[in-house]
Each structure stands twice: as C-alpha cells, then as structure tokens.
Amino acid sequence: MSTLPTERTPTERTKIKRHPERAVYDRETVHAILDEAFLCHVAFSVDGQPHVLPTAYGRDGDWIYIHGSAASHMLRSLTTDVEVSVAVTLVDGFVLARSAFRHSLNYRSVVIFGKARFVSDPQEKHSALRTITNHLVPGRWEEVREPNEQEMRQTSVLALALGESVAKVRTGPPLDLADDISERVWGGVVPLRLEPSAPQADQHVKAETPVPDTARLKRSTRS
C-alpha cells in the first residue's frame, strides 16, 4: 500500500467552502481523528435510493476498513463501483454564545470520498478484521478466539483509501457580536469527554477470571 503525502492538495470534493479556516488537509490530523473515534457513517446511493450505514472501522496506514455480514444488501452494493462518502466526528464541547444564532460545537471531523474496494485476499481480510477489533478494544484480538473459516465466509470487508479526505476542526470560545458581549448572559464552552465506565461481567464469567486491561479501554494515539 502506498503512503500519501503529508500535506494534501484539496480536491473539488474536499475543499471546504464554509468556514475554510477550519479545514485541515494534513495527513497526521486526519489519522489522529480517525484513531481516536470508533464509529463512522458510510453514505452512498443505489438506484436513486440514499443510504447511510453506521458501522465500526479500523485504520491501517492510508486505508480504513469496514466490515459486515456477507449477506448485507448494502455492503454488497458497495462492491459494485459505487461512490461513497464516509464521515467521522468527535464532539469536544458545547459552545454557548450570548445569542441563539451563534451557538456552536467544538468538534473534530473527517470526511472521506472514494470507491470502496472489496477485500478478497484472505491474508488482508484477516489483518483487516484484526485492525478493526483492536481499534475498538486495543489488544482484544490477541486474547480471544479468532474467526473460523465459516465466520470468515460470513463476513465481508471493504477498504477505502484516504487519498481524498479532509479534516475540519473548531476550537475556542463563542464568536459573539460586540453588542451581545455587554449583555448579562453567560457565555463560554462546556467541554465534553467520552470515557469508559467500569467493566460489567456477564453471567458466564467464572469468579476467578480477572478483568483484563483490554476491558478498561486504554486507547492510545498512533501515527
């Protein structure tokens, strides 16, 4: 797999027109957002019918992988040269302005455009499923049973290149008008942070089985 340049030239589809100052085209920012999030929305159209598929994913270099049932009509549609758009968003805070119009969110997002590639090579498919699993729960693949042949046949994996992708980021306080700042109304940011709670064992866990570190979801960033 080829490595993309650090700074990407925006295409007609990735060029941000509204709030262009929030656009980030460098490879490291796109990767960092994708590595921190874990849910994407895949948008595509088949026979004039729009679809949005929320699904887990994993990144390997300059590709993301998504998976699903081999019997899925939507996933099969994506293997027929259909253009897709994938969106990933992290919300970092509510931005409370002194006017309703200027309320906003602090966020980091990535949008990817392209055509999904059906992963038929067994070795790449196995590696992609490991990537998705360990993206969600780092290290989990290595401590559980791997998929057997039947389970692999029942699973489809698609790959999408990050070549045509863009990040968009908003940070900072509300952008109030000068006349509104003088009002006796509180303004500022309410930060948000997603954190895992304590693991809850199901009824089949034996009493002497310790809670693994993987269940505590100690996620880390990577390049």
What integer pLDDT is reported at residue 70 of this predicted model? 74
| Among 61, 52, 58, 25, residue whose Cα is nearest residue 39 | 58
**DSSP symbol at 149:** H
**pLDDT top residue among 35 and 2:** 35
Q: Rounded to an integer, what distance in angstroms lies between the CA atom of residue 12 and that of residue 32?
A: 23
What integer pLDDT is reported at residue 45 of this predicted model? 86
Instruction: Assess contact for 88 and 119: CB atoms under 8 A.
Output: no
69 - beta bridge partners? 155
pLDDT above 50 for 123: yes
Instruction: Assess contact for 92 and 108: CB atoms under 8 A.
Output: yes
The pLDDT-based confidence of 34 (bands split at 50, 70, 90) is: very high
| Average pLDDT rounded to a whole number, residues 78-99 | 91
Percent of the chain topping pLDDT 70: 93
pLDDT above 50 for 2: no
Maximum mean pLDDT: which of 1-5, 50-54, 62-66: 62-66
Amino acid type, 115: K
What integer pLDDT is reported at residue 28 of this predicted model? 94
Chain centre to alpha carbon of residue 103: 25
pLDDT above 90 for 135: yes
Q: 127-148: string of b/e by CB count within 10 Å (b at 16+)?
A: bbbbbbbebbbbebbeeeeebe
pLDDT above 80 for 74: no
Spell out the domains of the chain, with CATH numbers in brackets: 20-192 (2.30.110.10)
- Cα-Cα-Cα-Cα torsion 204, 210, 214, 218, nearest 10 degrees, comes to 130
Helix (H) or strand (E) holding 205: none
DSSP strand pairing (188-191 vs 104-115): unpaired
**DSSP symbol at 137:** S
What integer pLDDT is reported at residue 9 of this predicted model? 79
113 - beta bridge partners? 85
Range in 8-12, 47-51, 158-162 the model is least confident about: 8-12
Q: Rounded to an integer, what distance in angstroms lies between the CA atom of residue 58 and that of residue 136?
A: 8
Q: What is the pTM of this model?
A: 0.88
What integer pLDDT is reported at residue 220 of this predicted model? 53
Mean pLDDT of the chain: 89
pLDDT above 60 for 38: yes
| Average pLDDT rounded to a whole number, residues 206-221 | 80
**pLDDT top residue among 6 and 160:** 160
| Among 212, 216, 213, 219, residue whose Cα is nearest residue 198 | 216
Q: Rounded to an integer, what distance in angstroms lies between the CA atom of residue 34 and that of residue 68?
A: 19
157 - beta bridge partners? 67
How confident is the model over 98-113, as pLDDT tens digits? 999 999 999 999 999 9
Tokens representing 43?
Answer: 């948008």
